[in-house]
Amino acid sequence: METTRTDRFKTAILLIAATGLIAGLVFYFSGRPEAANLIWIAGVVPALAALVVEILRSLRSGEVGLDIVAALSMSAALVFGETLAAAVVAVMYSGGTFLEAFAEGRARREMHDLLSRVPRTATRHRNGGLEEIPLDHIAPGDRLLIRQGDVVPVDGTVASETAFVDTSALTGESLPVRLAHGAEAMSGSTNAGEAFDLTATREAKDSTYAGIVRLVEEAQASKAPMSRLADRWSLGFLAVTVSMAFAAWWFTGDPIRAVAVLVVATPCPLILAVPVALVAGLSRAAHFGVLIKGAGPLETMARIRTLILDKTGTLTDGRPQIVSIDSHDGMAEDDILRLAAALDQASKHPVAQAIVAAAKARGFTLPVPSDVAEIPGEGVVGHVEGRKVIVGGDAFVASRVGRRPGDHSAIAAGSVLVAVAVDGRMAGHLVMSDPLRDGAGAMLDGLRGEGIARILLATGDRADVAERVTEGLGLDGLRAGLTPDQKVLLVLTERKNGPVMMVGDGVNDAPALAAADVGVAMGARGAAASAEAADVVLLVDRIDRLGPGIEIARGARRIAVESVVAGIGLSVMGMIAAAFGYLTPVQGALLQEVIDVAVILNALRALRIAPHEPTIPKPKAVSSGQDDIAQGATP
């Protein structure tokens, strides 16, 4: 509301100044110069008064900017009888502030789109019917109806057979994504297919989209170091402007030259270009699923030299996937998986949930287990369709069926072996592992091309597991067995080589993310603690989005610097020409407005930055149907 009132006030001031300028010109060319002067003064005074009030507010908050030059130029023009020049400056200055506000609004479009998509209500199944409820009334476990075109209100899992959702507003993915039964659906995505049911897993305030909204609001209120530096530079520019105007008056005795110098310096592209370019970069990054919490992190992101990656959930998928199914008693692999998954429905263990997800991805209908007993850290025992099933570690299951554990030394480091017994006999084993994310190698190569000098892996896992997973990636260093405190120490040590970026997804990564110059959290599934501590949140569960984010940050910063250098250079040249009498005050005002418009339009180029989109290879087919499992686990 406050922003709307401010924009309306700026529009009114611009209309008054423009009307005064045009009306004065009409009277001037009608042979009534005295009336024209009065009308021009009447058009300038409101703009000058508003400017003086703004300057006083800035001074009270300890900020000094080039608005003072605009006030000096209008005041000097009125004092020395250059009323037409004063009117032109009033129109140009009020027009410049209006254009700046319009450009920033244009630059924030993607962020406004995110905020405007917040749903207010949801449709819940209750007692065989449907009821419309406020978002705050949704509780985990509620079954919601998501109609075609509806925005998913909370994080949840698909309760229908399939769902098609459009995540383009969040992640930049242009095509709808197919989600199978039990797959996770991100709040803020749109139902692009038939209506489906969703089982809520979080309250609205704790869901992904609510967190995104909070982060966007923080980003909009931020100010970049480069913007603060521009404010400091503006003091120097102000001193140069006043000195040059005074010198032109002193050595020539012509005050009009001083007025012309002041007019050419109003307003400064230094102030206009930086916020427009950086906010445009924020919006562009959000379009590609990279939410940067402000212009400050974006600017720092553009200067990153060292990248530190966590392993589990960041460089790897973070969810165990089935590599192979070994049958020992002639039982079909599908039957082993189906019975194991049916029993594991009663367990919340991550490995058990991964087995359930893999079975559902294959389209299996899982019966409800009975007489279930879970031995924490060991396994689960129960009955499925009248058959006694045991699922757990190899030693645990082997002891339950009266046999010795087998020799599984050939299994790769870091793999998880799950044994399955049916009716007192060992039925088979599920071999599971946490694989490297698809396209991780290409992503790291792309980051090196963007100027990242060092890429390190920091993990709490064993060294042999980390080395196996990252083999062939060409990392500059691998630090294994680290505690959260040791990760922080690694970040602080690497900062001597330049700005450091840390990427992680778990609670244990939060201290390191906060210690890094730029912390990046995997926000789609990452822990809330890591998302809060991070400066950047990847809205989609794909680390390859990091490359486009850095590319956009560097492009936006480069455009901001180009705009400042070009704008200041042209302004100084114009001031020199005015000091030597080659520009009148009116000509100087028109020249400066041309410079300002060019600078703003150049800064808006950041909205058209087209980062290189990494190509993600399709997963290789394996005998256990891993393609289907992977697709089901990672929509």
Which residues are marked as active site? 310
For CA atoms 156, 157, 159, 161, the dihedral sign is positive
> Is residue 580 left, alpha or beta, with left meaning phi > 0 and alpha meaning psi from -120 to 50?
alpha
Strand partners, 500: 306
- Rounded to the nearest 10 degrees, the angle between the axes of helix 546-579 and helix 269-287 is 160
Whether the CB-CB separation of 262 and 73 falls below 8 Å is answered with yes
CA dist 100 → 60, 92, 268, 603 (Å): 23, 12, 12, 11
DSSP one-letter code for 315: I
Q: How far is it, in rounded angstroms, from Cα 2 to Cα 10?
A: 12
Strands, E, within 304-409: which ranges? 306-309, 321-327, 370-375, 379-384, 387-392
Whether the CB-CB separation of 341 and 364 falls below 8 Å is answered with yes
Please state the separation of Cα 122 from the chain's center in Å. Answer: 26
The residue written with tokens 């800035």 in the block is 58
Strand partners, 132: 123
Q: How far is it, in rounded angstroms, from Cα 526 to Cα 313?
A: 8
The residue written with tokens 């370019």 in the block is 277
Residue 633's SS3 state is helix
Whether the CB-CB separation of 357 and 182 falls below 8 Å is answered with yes
Strands, E, within 183-222: which ranges? 184-185, 190-191, 196-200
Q: Buried (b) or exposed (e) across 458-487, using 16+ Cβ within 10 A?
A: bbbbeeebbeebbeebebeeebbebebeeb
